[in-house]
């Protein structure tokens, strides 16, 4: 019995480095920088996509943005996922990328001229 325990512990230690080196994962719920909405990032085939999961109730007569797809076809390239970002405010789609830093997600969108802007989201 003692041999089994030692073997199990040894196996656990040998797997720990592999688990520690697993790539960061952006899937899950993220609160936008101003706290006004929550975005759900999930797998979309070989890419990831993001949808508005929660947002304030719309003004009378306005359409809810909940369910709107805003992160489009982001594919992992090293530690960055690149694809497109839909801006609900202006109705335009921009080149975009996301990158993880612990429980923070840096979200960046760029115009064709190379001017970029972004914000940091917090994992829920």
- The enclosing domain of 51 has a CATH number of 2.40.128.520
Q: Give the domain range for residue 111.
A: 24-123
Task: Specify if 4 maps to a domain.
Answer: no
pLDDT at 96: 98
Q: Select from 97, 94, 57, 55 the least CA-distant residue to 74.
A: 97
Q: What's the mean pLDDT in 88-101? A: 96
Q: Select from 33, 55, 29 the least CA-distant residue to 121.
A: 33
Average pLDDT along the chain: 87
DSSP 2: H
Q: What is the pLDDT of residues 19-54, one digit of tens each?
A: 455 557 999 999 999 999 999 999 999 999 999 999
pLDDT at 119: 97
pTM for this predicted structure: 0.79
Q: Does an H or E element contain 4, and which?
A: helix 2-20
Task: Specify if 34 maps to a domain.
Answer: yes
Task: Specify if 94 maps to a domain.
Answer: yes
pLDDT at 24: 79
Q: Select from 38, 45, 46, 40 the least CA-distant residue to 26.
A: 40
- For the chain, how many structural domains are there in total? 1
Task: Specify if 77 maps to a domain.
Answer: yes
């Amino acid at each position: 019995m003692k041999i089994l325990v030692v073997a199990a512990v040894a196996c656990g230690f040998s797997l720990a480095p592999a688990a520690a080196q697993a790539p960061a994962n952006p899937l899950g719920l993220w609160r936008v920088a101003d706290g006004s909405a929550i975005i759900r990032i999930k797998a979309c085939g070989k890419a990831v996509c993001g949808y508005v999961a929660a947002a304030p109730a719309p003004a009378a007569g306005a359409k809810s943005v909940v369910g709107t797809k805003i992160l489009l076809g982001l594919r992992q390239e090293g530690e960055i996922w690149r694809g497109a970002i839909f801006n609900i405010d202006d109705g335009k789609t921009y080149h975009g990328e996301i990158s993880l830093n612990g429980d923070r997600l840096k979200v960046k969108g760029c115009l064709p001229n190379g001017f970029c802007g972004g914000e940091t989201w917090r994992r829920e």
